[in-house]
Each structure stands twice: as C-alpha cells, then as structure tokens.
Copies of this chain bind each other. A is one copy, B any other.
C-alpha cells in the first residue's frame, strides 16, 4: 500500500494530502480506547466535519505514525478499518483517498441512522489489502477476458447432464428430497461420497459433512477450531479466501513458505517448536497459487509433526482430481493414521461452481462440532445441488466428465504457456503444471503486480496480483497468478496480447528496499 509507493509507481498526479490529521490528540492513559480506534474515529470526525473532503489523501502511513508517535501497524489498522467502512479507498500509488459521500461504497447518506456510522470494521481490519478480492475476481468474469478466475470454463459446465440428474434423482428419491434435509447432508450423496470419492479417505472413525462449497468449509473449521488470538499456520503464499477467513476468525496467521516441493516442513517444525499452533492449513496438491505438489518425503514429515505436536491439519483439496496425467498424487489424508487431517473437498472446480456443494471428512467428534457450526450458518446445503450430484456420481457420469476436464485443462495450460513464451522479456513463467488451474508468474519489472493488474484491467484482461496471496513478510508483489481454466484456445492469443500491452506500460526499473517482497 502506501509503503510500496515510489516515484516509478505514479500513473496519475497525486491528490492533495490532508495535513490536519497529523496533529490529532490521542489519549494514552491506561483504560483509554486502543490507539488505532482513536485514530480511526479522529479521521471519521474529520470526514463528518468536512475537514477531510472527497478526493483528499490521508497522510502516508509512515508519516502519520511518526507525527503521532505511534507504531505504524496502528495506522495501518485504522486505515484498513476506514477502507472497510467505505470511507476511504487504498489506491496503491495514489495513496489512501477519501471517497465521495454517495454511491455504493460511500458512508451512510445523511438520513441514515447514526448506528450505521458507528460500526467497527468487520474482522477489525484484519482482512488485508483486498477484503473484497474474491468478489472482484468473480465480477471480473463479466468484464473482458479473464486470466483471473479460478473456476471451470463456462463452456465446460455439464449443465444438461446435471438437469437430467435432477429429474432422475427426484424419480429415485421422491420430491421430499427437496424439503429441509439433514444438517449433515443428503443421505445418498454422503453415501456415494464415502464409497467412491472417499475410498480410503473416509476412515472408520470419520464422518462426512456436506458443506455449501469450500468457502463454507473453511469458515466452519475456523468457527469450530479457532478462537481469537490463536496461532494458525498457513502457507505463504496461500489462497486469499483461506487467509481472510482465518483472519476474520481472529487468528494470528503464521506464514510458512512454499517452494517447488510444497510447504517447507523444516520451517514448520521450527514454528511448531516455538508456538502453540491451533491449526495448520495446507493445499498439498496443485497448490493455489503456485501449483506446487507436496513431495512424498514432506508429506510424511508433515504428518509426523502433526502427531508430535498434537496439532490438526486442514487439507484444503480442490484440485487433486484435476491432474493432467492418468495417475497423480492423492490426498495427504490417505496417509493419515492418527486422525490429524481434516479433509475439505469441493465440486466447484471439478463439476459446477453454482451448485455450492463441497464436503468435509474428519474424525467424528470434530465433525459433530462442524455440524453444529453448519446448523447456525445455513441449516443445510441446498437440496437441488445435492440431488444432482448424488445422481451424477452414482450414475457413473463423474469419472468420464473428469477425464474430459483433465484433457481440456492440460491443453489450455499448454496453449497459454505457449502464448506467454512471447512475453519472456517481461514475465518468468513456470514449467508445465501437473494439474490444477494456475501459472504463478514472476514480473521481471519487480514488485509491481498491483499496478499490472490495474493496467491489464484497462486493457480488458483480468489477472490477480500476487499481493493478495502474501502472508506477513512474503508479499509476492512481483508475482501474478494467471489461470488457464477459462482461457480457451480461441481467446488465449487475444488475452495474452492484452496482457502484453499492460506489461509494456510498466516502468522498467525494479524497486528494492525495505518494502520489496521476500521472494518465495
């Protein structure tokens, strides 16, 4: 954010900065409100009084921190809350700018009741620089070409088969199947998951819970296991949805680096030896965003660490069935003998995102907690999707569909990599992936991924800047995640042409220094 600003990042003139806030009077007596809240409220007051007007910049974080004699994180947190409240907007190189007092992200209109303005930010500003990232990526699907979305191509959705399955399922199970169902999920779906997909995964002491997509799975695990202040280990980089979900639950995130063999178990061991970690969250197979597969040796090590330190592992596994070869790495949970692994899968990547159906396999006592959390989240998962999928799996349609998808995604990955080869002067592209949806590319121009994403959007192609995947010191600001899943051979050349146009607008200089990313 502010700290990354350098002369090379400016794409437009800066807005005038407000100096008034630098003299803000903070109450430092014991028992006073936390400093970040006082600062946040001070800015709010300035907005209400008109001292701070639309289009003005807040003082840069570092300057503000120095002027007020507070820690920089105090300022960061206050600013993030103001961003989450829709009062200001972090505009990268342009600073943190006051928004107009009307429209979708504006403060409450004058007639709105006062309780609206007094609300604290959700998650106390812990959501990082992009609280609405997932929403924005979804929206990008409808604007130009997308190399951003981690979703099956719209041309690949087995819609006719699924509507057939709904009819067949209703014939088999009766219309009652669409009434309120069990919180745990639709019986025939849970059975076919346990017998087919979960062969070896769903152990004798395990239960299966159907969830409303992997997003809900993450939220339920966070709710059932994590209390505010708990340490949770995540991969660095990692899927932003997981980072934000556990941050919102009040967890302190500890990022353990991922390399070509997956999470660094040596670093993890050091962390576990020093801290009481509540949960370790990993994507061992076709990791998002790097595509890494956890090596066999590290899998063994990871399970041994879980046993030794008595810490559970959440295996978030949306991609292992989307391998390109006939065989490939299976879930980590297959090798788990100690009940440490909570396994989370989804049909959103393999079949159809709009179904909102995923599933969790975990030791029954934990599953009971998750069922309770599910009951208070949405009572149960939508029945139409569960009936469709139960029949889709049971009737033997799933495996041929998967085989077809693997072939398509392999082709798309090859085609996109071929097109990207022409951008070698700008972009370092990884080797051919073994599965999944993503290429985790490095910008030769350095940590300018957010600027690139903005320029690319202007050119009509969506990409995701690496920053969103960063944890702690691992910022990944020189990385961009390109997805080939929705990029058919017909559109690949044009998507890459637009990306080139954006890359060519990036300043050539590489910025280094205290805000440069720690490269993974």
Contact = CB atoms under 8 A, between A and B. Distances in A.
A10 to B, nearest CB: 29
A135 B170 contact: no
Interface string A123-151: 00000000110110011010000000101
A80 interface: no
A178 B383 contact: no
A455 interface: no
Contacts of A106: 365
23 contacts: A84-B372, A108-B363, A109-B205, A112-B363, A113-B310, A113-B338, A116-B365, A116-B366, A134-B183, A138-B182, A151-B180, A159-B175, A162-B178, A180-B348, A180-B354, A213-B378, A215-B376, A216-B377, A216-B378, A219-B377, A356-B383, A377-B377, A382-B385
A219 to B, nearest CB: 6
A134 B363 contact: no
Interface in A201-259: 205, 207, 212-213, 215-216, 219, 223-225, 227, 241, 244-245, 248
A131 to B, nearest CB: 6
A138 B380 contact: yes
B378 A180 contact: no
Contact of A138 (B86, B183, B248): B183
Interface string A365-379: 110110111011111
A5 interface: no
Interface string A329-366: 00000000011100000001000111111000001111
Nearest to A109: B205
A285 to B, nearest CB: 21
A163 B175 CA distance: 11
Contacts of A312: 113, 115
A119 B225 contact: yes
A373 B363 CA distance: 28
Interface string A256-273: 000000000000000000
Nearest to A386: B354
A166 to B, nearest CB: 6
Interface in A422-457: none
A216 B215 CA distance: 14
Nearest to A362: B116
A326 interface: no
A372 to B, nearest CB: 5
Contact of A384 (B111, B223, B244, B354): B354
A371 B132 CA distance: 9
A105 B366 CA distance: 10
Contacts of A379: 134, 138, 213, 215, 241, 356
Given A111-B338, A113-B306, A355-B383, 9 more contacts: A86-B368, A116-B365, A134-B183, A157-B176, A162-B178, A178-B353, A179-B354, A216-B378, A354-B383
B167 A163 contact: yes
B151 A354 contact: no
Contacts of A227: 120
Contacts of A340: 113
B107 A141 contact: no
Nearest to A204: B109
B378 A219 contact: yes
A418 to B, nearest CB: 26
Nearest to A166: B163
A215 B374 CA distance: 10
A42 interface: no
Contacts of A223: 122
A154 interface: yes
A219 B223 CA distance: 12
A148 B490 CA distance: 56
Contact of A166 (B109, B166, B215, B364): B166
Contacts of A116: 339, 363, 365-366
A311 B162 CA distance: 46
B382 A181 contact: no
Contacts of A384: 166, 354-355, 382, 384-385, 388
A232 to B, nearest CB: 13
A381 interface: yes
A289 interface: no
Interface string A44-83: 0000000000000000000000000000000000000000
